[in-house]
Amino acid sequence: MAETGRLSAPAAPLASPVTLVRIAIVAAILVTWEAVAASGLLFRDVVPSLLVIGRATAGLLADKTYYWHLGVTAGEVGIGLLIGGLSGLAVGILLGSNRLLGRAFEAYLYYLGPTPKIIFFPVMIMWFGVGPGSKVAMGTISCFFPVALSAAAGMREINPVLIRVGRSFRASTWQMVTKIYLPAMRLPAINGVRLGLGVAIIGTLLAETKLSNRGIGFLIINAYSTFDMPRMYALLIVLFVLSIGVNAVVGRLGGVDSIRRA
Amino acid sequence: MSSVTRAAAAPRAQSAAPVLVVDGIVKRFETPDGVMTAVDHISFDVAPGEFLAVIGPSGCGKSTLFNIIGGLLDGYEGRVAVSGETLKGPHASIGMVFQEESTFPWRTVTDNVAFPLEIAGLPKAQRVERARHFIDLVGLSGFENRYPAELSGGMRQRVAIARTLASEPKILLMDEPFGALDEQTRLLLGDKVLQIQDQLKQTCLLITHNITEAVQLADRVLVMTYRPGTVKRMVPIELPRPRSSEIVSSDAFGRYVAQIWGDLREEASRGMRDDEAHRGGGAP
């Protein structure tokens, strides 16, 4: 191990040392997993072998109802992101542009921001029912905070002379927002949306696992309660891959934008 | 009698009503040390087509005056009127060019220059066409699709000037537009401004602390006193037009510079003593 480390330290042409270590980590986890599964130390059903999990994953991906549930969750997250993101952006711009409001309200945002939003779930069930409504609400309140805080910070970083230019050309409030504020704060705003998407997925899935009859969170908790461990692991793996994919897409939006218009 | 020299001083100013009237402006600011009078009873007129430079030492209230005339600062005494209309906030007839870097980094040169036209709601085809015209005027043809980050400081400031000109203001109001640039670039951009002013018969009001710049460009130079800012002297610059930066080597030019420096020197040294006293505090 030490030898490979020393050999590949200066930029290796094919795979960087970081990539090699990453592959090694995954390989080590898989080997350990398989060893534990084969040893029989834990219940076989709790730690199924990789082969069984692989078969369950293939079965899941071939299952039509899985895609329906995926669609439900994606829809909930999407609507939550839309409502929470837009309202977060609006509130952030308002707080960032008005010093009094900003100082008065931002304390609450900072207190509520890190609070686990799941504590609001019972309230959301009472307000919006046990169906997708309460899941959308959870996604919405989850992503509202990071988006609002990033937008408020982004507003304050705008070069003040650009705002004076807009005023001198007598831009309306709407024109100021769409033509100066939003483009000037696009990087912090995209970053806020990225963080918001992550917590919207968490909030929605958490709500689905608590009380629901549809969605990926429901499938996971359903597999758990029927003790179908391979299927549960398969769901986790698929979810993991999907989250990475979505995050990469949103990250790319910010990256491309910043390169083209630096 | 003296009509010849008068004509040379303000060739387009004869018998026309002033396009800009600044009447008895007083602006006070609350500071921790009490009320500070930044500008004290400043009055002047600008005739159509005239180029007026306002010069003064740091801390004479030049920028305050710029913001008041541009309509970005209120809460002052006195009156600013454009073509007889008293100012309440930013006015379409006054186009401002700022001292700071003010191009929009996310817009191309064309989209920057078209900004005021977009605000006015012009259709895209017309916006682009008019923007092209003003880009050409400031000598930036070929850079239409570049972003400000790809241009030099002098080019960016020309974009800012083109953007303001595109709104077709009656008065081009500039606050040390070349302050951040080196001397050679500044002189050459001064030529560009002279050329544009001649072409458009543009009325200009330039705020500056640079004597060479003021004499090179202006028909009249208003010298301000150090805090509170008042009108110390109005100096007509009777140099022939069209001018170019070559004029800076002439004797007449040198005499104007010396005369204005004579007025300014006193004010600038008062400013410097004041500044040093503030920094020194109770030091011996």
pLDDT tens digit string along A102-159?
Answer: 888 888 888 888 888 888 899 998 999 888 899 999 999 999 999 999 999 899 889 9
B283 inside domain: no
What does pLDDT average to over chain B?
86
Please state the rounded mean pLDDT for residues A170-181. Answer: 92
Count CB neighbours of B47 within 10 A: 21
Higher pLDDT, B278 or A68: A68
Give me the pLDDT at residue B275, please: 81
Domains and CATH numbers, chain A: 78-212 (1.10.3720.10)
DSSP state of A1: -
Question: Residue B230 falls within a domain, yes or no?
Answer: yes
Contact call for A168 and B95, based on CB within 8 A: yes
A171/chain B closest Cα distance in angstroms: 6
What is the per-residue pLDDT for B2?
Answer: 40
CB contact under 8 A, B90 and A184: no
- CB contacts of B92 in chain A (<8 Å) are 170
Residue pair B193/B237 in contact by the 8 Å Cβ criterion: no
Enclosing domain of residue B11: 3-87+200-276
Phi and psi at residue B35, in whole multiples of 5°? -80, 130
Question: Which long-range contacts does B269-276 make (Cβ < 8 Å, 24+ apart)?
Answer: B270/B57, B270/B226, B271/B57, B271/B58, B271/B59, B271/B60, B271/B226, B271/B227, B274/B59, B274/B226, B274/B227, B275/B59
CA B104 to chain A, closest CA, distance in angstroms equals 7
Strand runs (DSSP E) across B32-170, as ranges?
34-46, 51-55, 77-82, 85-86, 94-97
User: Is residue B40 a part of any domain in this protein?
Assistant: yes
For the stretch B214-228, pLDDT in tens is 999 999 999 998 888
Domain count, chain B: 1
- Whether A183 and B95 lie within 8 Å, measured CB to CB: no
CA distance B215 to A57: 81
Task: Determine whether the interchain pair B119/A165 forms a contact, defined as Cβ–Cβ distance below 8 Å.
Answer: no
Position B252 in a domain: yes
B150 to chain A, any CB pair closer than 8 A? The answer is: no
pLDDT tens-digit series, residues A183-238? 998 888 888 888 898 889 989 999 998 888 889 999 999 888 888 888 999 999 99
Residue B154 inside a domain? The answer is no
**Consecutive H or E run containing A102:** helix A99-112
Residue B163 lies in a domain: no
Written as six digits, the tokens of B179 are: 């302050």
Interchain CB distance below 8 Å, B101 and A159: yes
Beta-carbon separation of B119 and A175 below 8 A: yes
Out of B71, B92, B106, whose CB is closest to A261?
A: B106
Q: What is the ipTM of this complex?
A: 0.86
Whether the full predicted model's pTM is greater than 0.90, yes or no, is no
Residue B240's domain is classified under what CATH number? 3.40.50.300
Structure confidence at residue B204 as a pLDDT band (50, 70, 90): very high
B170 within a domain of the structure (yes/no): no
Q: Which of A193, A229, A208, A252 is nearest to A70 (CA)?
A: A208
The Cα B186–Cα B172 span in angstroms is 18
Residue B268 lies in a domain: yes
User: Alpha-carbon distance B91 to B164, whole Å?
Assistant: 13
B90 → closest Cβ in A159, A168, A180:
A168
